[in-house]
Structure 1
Amino acid sequence: MSTSTLSAPAPAAPSTSDGDGPAAPRWVRPAFWGLLLGTAVLYLWNLGASGWGNSFYAEAAQAGSLDWKAWFFGSLDPGNTITVDKPPASLWLMGLSGRVFGFSSWSMLVPQALLGVGSVALLYAAVRRWSGPGAGLFAGAALALTPVAALMFRFNNPDALLTFLLVLGAYCVVRAVEKASPKWLVLAGVAIGFGFLTKMLQAFLVLPAFGLVYLIAAPTGLGKRLLHLLGALVAVVVSAGWYIAVADLWPAASRPYIGGSTDNTVLDLALGYNGLGRIFGGGGNGGGGNMGGGNVGFGGQTGIGRMFGDSFGTEVSWLLPAAVLGLLAGLWFTRWSPRTDRTRASMVLWGGWLVVTALVFSFMEGTVHPYYAVALAPAITAMVAIAGRELWRGRAHVAPRLFLAGMVAVTAVWDYILLDRSSDWHPVIRWAILVLGILVASAIAVGAHEFRRAGRAIAVAAVAVGLAGTLVFGVATAAVPHSGSIPISGPATGGVFGMPEGETPSAELVAALQASTEDWAAASSGTRGAASLQLTSGKSVMPIGGFNGGDPAPTPAQFRQYVAEGRIGYYIGEGAGRMGGPGGGSNEIAEWVQANFPATTIGGQTVYDLTP
């Protein structure tokens, strides 16, 4: 077989508005808008069923809708005690939506769903430019249906915005490579910089692939390529660094404490708890590789098999074996291609994204959760779409045909295994996928496409096999509500691992808080109780110590001063020792309150009246 089977640049079919290629077939535009409409229905339908989702981020979004300083810094409360332990970019969108439409579960989650629709559109556009509309549509549809995407684009964690920005960056890189455009490369850097402001160093995992594909494939001299990459790096630093500079130079006494940091700076948060601590453990990171293979919510055991295990497997790995096989095939068949070959450039771009991110997730020793896998979904689906399309084009040759048959077969077998993990859930589905997959793979391998019109039917059947497993599990995920700090995809209500949500406070307690005129209607250790009180009452509730009560905000001395100044209405907690952590003062505060203020009961809840 000629090694050029996959090496010729794919005949692009951009829309007529691009002005740099032939007009797309008539079916492309309605198919594209149908894809976006279907994605919007999947992500927006019954969106409020999950309520506040992750109440930790919900209370911060609510705070941002009520106070501009809280919005800018990502404070957990309008009184600006402490921030979330992430940068605030995703909260900016949810907070603004709450200001415009009034804060509710719907107004909080709509930006997330729209980010999902935008991610699908951008992935389609990026894949289509080099591999045609068919591959673009498959990539977009597969992304929309990936279970972890159907989960996170209907939830209020930062991962929705991060995924959108990563895909946006990849699209800009595609445009940059086409004509060695420094402008598009800088825009890619800006997207990744704002990705840092969404989830810090995780956004940088795509940078090796972005830089390498431009260095290899941009049609200009090496010197200019290096200069353009330097400009893009500056764009990343500026886009990410401006917020660090503003936040860390802002007088600490007039802003909230930076949650999760050890020295009240965003830079420490980026390098410590959300940086090296995630990779190597420590720095406040529990879980990850230290939690053992049975802890689904914390990723299970570290190792090369983590992405296929009980934690990540059903979230994102439905097409992962096929993506790996397609990457190997693509790199092999394009090994002698010209430097600027777009098929190989696609393999470097999406394959590099896939390999680096998957390896980091697999070997992280610090905190890692299954929903992180949404950042892998665009690379996996794009890789399968591009490789599948190129192998189908080379189906007249035995080797590409066998690789394609292998992609179909391994997808069917792996879908069966994943669905068997929920063995009581519609078992006929996994058997149907397995049988159809084996039949289609066999037909491809023996060259059945050569018989009259069988080729089109086989192609449609192969696409059906590729999407079937992720489709049924993705739709099942979107059909049920999810809540808690670690949501899990699947046909059952998303489980809650780690910190559970607080109980809904009584009407009497909510009324008491709403009648308060203090800066903080109440204070409570950690966010478990504070979030439900604030979200229900609409009043500022001080989350002592942040997420788990372990941050020194406020210190015991500050808390006593606030009480003396009459700025806190009630203390609501479960006593000393609850949720306290190293460096925090929540235990000491609880003991001081119990020793100096009488307890009373409101709506069955023990509270301490702190007003003079």
Structure 2
Amino acid sequence: MTTHHDPPATPRSDTGGWVPPRTAPERRPGPAGPRQPLPGRLWRGRPEDPRWVRPAFLGLLAATLLLYLHNLSASGYANSFYSAAVQAGSTSWKAFFFGSLDAGNAITVDKPPASLWPMELSVRVFGLRSWAILAPEVLMGVATVAVVYAAVRRRFSPVAGLTAGAVLALTPVAALMFRFNNPDAMLALLMAVACYLVVRAVEDGRTRWLVWAGLAIGFAFLAKTLQAFLILPPLAIVYAVCAPVPWRKRFGQLAAATLALVVAGGWWVAVVELWPASSRPYIGGSQHNSFLELTFGYNGLGRLNGDETGSMGGGGGGNGAGRWGETGWDRMFGSETGGQVSWLLPAALILLAAGLVATRKLRRTSVTRASFLVWGGSLLMTMAVFSYMAGIFHQYYTVALAPYLAAVTGMGAGLLWERRRRPWASITLAVSVVAAAAWGYVLLNRTPDYLPWLKWLVLTGGLVAAFGLVFAGRITRRLALGAAAVGLVAALAGPTAYTLSTLQEGHTGSIVTAGPAGASMMGGPGGGPGGGGVRGGFGGAMPSRQGQQGGQGQQGQQGGLGGPGAGFPGAGGPGGGMPGGSQQNGNGPSQMQPGQQGRPGGPNGNGFPGGGTGEGGMGGSGGLLNGASVSAEARRLLEKNAARYTWVAASVGSQNAAGYQLATGDPVMAIGGFNGTDPSPTLAQFKKYVAEGKIHYFIAGGGAGPGGGSGSGTASRISSWVQSNFQKVTAGSATFYDLTQKASG
């Protein structure tokens, strides 16, 4: 029943209720009137939309773009591991294709190269600088917001689409990773595109949409391997059940989509596997120079069961504390991860359940229900895997959840709002607002010194809004809209504050988190039970803001890579920092980019960026997370006669090599790959390179990995051979060995 406050309504069988005509009809809309010129269509949007809709959408995209571009260069080279690969790919097409860490093509990064390609093309055009590397990631973030808006808007109201887009843009981990050079930005974009395309396929049963979805997931595989396949089960099941075509055709279409996926993701794999190993770079992260081994081992099943050969060690299953944090059903809500992504997760789960209940009696081919199943199924599937994976897990992985969570929130809120005259719908909508506000209060209370007044504002605003929403179907539309607006502000206030805090700081290294200091406490490798917490698990005092804070670990929390007597086997120094470090206690200078000031680490071996490493060393464990800082003297030494050599230097561990490569712009060989544990090059190969005059210097003290400061056995043998046979050279505080000068005596 409508009132004079609402526009005329028309029935729609898909939702089972009365909805305003602005909601997309179940059938495919046909052309409306003469086709306008492109500028007019871009500004006006759908002819049936109110005039404010398209400007509001464009405003959302513009605001997201400006927000994410703010202070972008503060992160410098961000993750120097990938930035070094970008630098290499911008100067060598072979490095571009294979994803090599260096232009000499000694070894690749431990992922496929698709996520590097946009950054490498940008650097080819604009030169090697921070914004040229990170701006493509920002554009991917804006594109993801646009895709989520389009998906929700197509089936629900414009406000629902705008809400979903805003939720995504203001999720702290999204604001972090869409400004960072890890593969996760491309992965999140392509997964959102795949969900959108599958819903389009359910809408009209056309094969092309499903094939495009397969292509998107296949290309996502080339960004982050098997993580791209996490949402395949819900997408395939939803289409198989809900598509409006005969079942034989459905399975034929799924087969075509699978073929598209295999082609999109498999062409590069086939080339790499068939390419002679002697003329391509070693596959970083593998133990036998095989990308398939890397895919199904270190980057595949190893992430689930913790059996990751060559890594720093896995985690624990069940509800125990693992080396990569606690696993269990509540992992996404815990102190390690909650502040990154879970702000609206309780509300989203309530809205998802409500959406499925509301559409339970609709026909099999209902697109509205299929939308909830596609986005909600992707959310639940990814949550489940993240919650129980016992291998390497970092908080920033949760950016993969952000598009699904945002879409479910927008869809659920939109559906319940249209049905608000029904008591169950208005009450459920109110409950979701209370859940968001209460959980926001809990998360804000975990950082009690950060805006202490905000948690009370969030809680109070949420309760007031919920009271109004309970009666949303019986009060005037203006009052109901006011209550909804207050509820939205209360729900988004916490994540917005964390997002703004994230944007104000630079983020460097391999492990980064969003929000203010102390927002994420995570036990790292070696942390285990009792070693938990970001500040206690790694290096005795891992900063929760990379490159921003060192400080001491939590009282009574030792372990990880730097509490007294802790660290990897063989770890030394009073703080148990990684051996081979140039600083006694692992408290080297910051490894941040020029112009960024890090704080020194505390006395227990803290050594992550900002609690950093010394030149060429691995003080604490910082070199494992970010490239070494390089002095002007060291840079001049390496740049002298650099053109004569394939590699100006070699160093154990990719991060240490990356720091020198970015400083000089010349290739630096990473012995042993990221952790120093890959058997590449062998001692015989390294001797051959030296005899042929391809490497000028060996950088001392670049160890990384569970075996101690020299990385793997292969890296250790190379280090010992170099130190016994070649002349030592000092530049600044770093030590080198000149591989063209034999040691005297």
Q: Give the equivalent residue in structure 1 for 2:551.
A: none
Using the TM superposition, give the Cα deviation of residue 507 of structure 1 relative to its aligned residue in structure 2, in angstroms.
0.5
Q: Give the equivalent residue in structure 2 for 1:290.
A: 316
Cα offsets for 1:292-343 (capped at 9, x unmatched): 98989x6521100000011210110001001111111111221111112222
CA distance in 2, matches of 1:471, 1:19: 39
Farther-moved stretch of structure 1 (478-487 vs 464-473): 464-473
Q: Give the equivalent residue in structure 2 for 1:256.
A: 281
Q: In the alignment, which of 89, 106, 128 is matched to residue 64 of structure 1?
A: 89
TM-score, normalised via structure 2 length: 0.78
Q: Is the 8 A contact 1:65 1:71 kept in 2?
A: yes
Q: In the alignment, which of 513, 518, 541 is matched to residue 645 of structure 2?
A: 518
Farther-moved stretch of structure 1 (131-140 vs 205-214): 205-214
Q: Give the equivalent residue in structure 1 for 2:298.
A: 273
Task: Give yes or no for the alignment of 1:421 onto 2:446.
Answer: yes
Q: Is the 8 A contact 1:14 1:22 kept in 2?
A: no
Structural mapping, 1:325-364, within 5 Å: 325-364=350-389
Cα offsets for 1:567-605 (capped at 9, x unmatched): 1011111188754445x5111000000000121211221
Q: In the alignment, which of 467, 482, 485 is matched to residue 510 of structure 2?
A: 485
Using the TM superposition, give the Cα deviation of residue 92 of structure 1 relative to its aligned residue in structure 2, in angstroms.
1.1
Q: Which residue type is aligned with residue 360 of structure 1? A: V
CA pair 292-529 structure 1, distance change in 2 beyond 3 A: farther
CA distance in 1, matches of 2:84, 2:30: 43
Q: Is the 8 A contact 2:284 2:673 kept in 1?
A: yes
Q: In the alignment, which of 21, 31, 55 is matched to residue 56 of structure 2?
A: 31
Q: In the alignment, which of 527, 531, 546 is matched to residue 495 of structure 1?
A: 546
Q: In the alignment, which of 651, 657, 672 is matched to residue 545 of structure 1?
A: 672
Q: Give the equivalent residue in structure 2 for 1:586.
A: 715
Using the TM superposition, give the Cα deviation of residue 463 of structure 1 relative to its aligned residue in structure 2, in angstroms.
2.0
Q: Give the equivalent residue in structure 2 for 1:80.
A: 105
Cα offsets for 1:415-452 (capped at 9, x unmatched): 01111111101111111010010111122224475146
Aligned length: 609
Structural mapping, 1:110-149, within 5 Å: 110-149=135-174
Give the match's secondary structure for 2:674: helix
Q: Give the equivalent residue in structure 2 for 1:157.
A: 182
- Unaligned runs of 5+ residues in structure 2 are 2-11, 33-45, 518-543, 548-607, 609-620
CA distance in 2, matches of 1:294, 1:487: 23
CA distance in 2, matches of 1:592, 1:18: 74
Q: In the alignment, which of 677, 692, 697 is matched to residue 570 of structure 1?
A: 697
CA distance in 2, matches of 1:494, 1:294: 25
Q: Give the equivalent residue in structure 1 for 2:735.
A: 606
Q: Which residue type is aligned with residue 495 of structure 1? A: Q
CA pair 37-295 structure 1, distance change in 2 beyond 3 A: farther
CA distance in 2, matches of 1:92, 1:313: 32
Q: Is the 8 A contact 1:5 1:394 kept in 2?
A: no
CA distance in 2, matches of 1:449, 1:527: 63
CA pair 189-292 structure 1, distance change in 2 beyond 3 A: closer
CA pair 68-12 structure 1, distance change in 2 beyond 3 A: farther
Q: Which residue type is aligned with residue 195 of structure 1? A: A
Using the TM superposition, give the Cα deviation of residue 291 of structure 1 relative to its aligned residue in structure 2, in angstroms.
9.7
Q: Percent identity?
A: 51
- Unaligned runs of 5+ residues in structure 1 are none
Give the match's secondary structure for 1:338: coil
Structural mapping, 1:362-511, within 5 Å: 362-447=387-472, 450-451=475-476, 453-492=478-517, 494-495=545-546, 499-511=624-636
Cα offsets for 1:127-155 (capped at 9, x unmatched): 11111211111111110110000000110
CA pair 292-563 structure 1, distance change in 2 beyond 3 A: farther
Using the TM superposition, give the Cα deviation of residue 268 of structure 1 relative to its aligned residue in structure 2, in angstroms.
1.1
Q: Give the equivalent residue in structure 2 for 1:195.
A: 220
Q: Is the 8 A contact 2:303 2:391 kept in 1?
A: yes
Q: In the alignment, which of 204, 210, 226 is matched to residue 185 of structure 1?
A: 210
CA distance in 2, matches of 1:591, 1:14: 69
CA pair 94-456 structure 1, distance change in 2 beyond 3 A: same
Give structure 1 regions of 4+ aligned residues with deviation exceeding 6 angstroms: 14-18, 291-296
Using the TM superposition, give the Cα deviation of residue 19 of structure 1 relative to its aligned residue in structure 2, in angstroms.
3.8
Cα offsets for 1:429-478 (capped at 9, x unmatched): 11101001011112222447514631221122222223222111112112
CA distance in 2, matches of 1:549, 1:272: 17
CA pair 224-17 structure 1, distance change in 2 beyond 3 A: closer
Q: Give the equivalent residue in structure 2 for 1:52.
A: 77
TM-score, normalised via structure 1 length: 0.95
Q: Is the 8 A contact 1:189 1:232 kept in 2?
A: yes
Q: Is the 8 A contact 2:14 2:363 kept in 1?
A: no
CA pair 180-485 structure 1, distance change in 2 beyond 3 A: same
Cα offsets for 1:335-357 (capped at 9, x unmatched): 11111222211110111001100
Structural mapping, 1:298-337, within 5 Å: 299-337=324-362
Give the match's secondary structure for 1:77: coil
CA pair 448-279 structure 1, distance change in 2 beyond 3 A: same
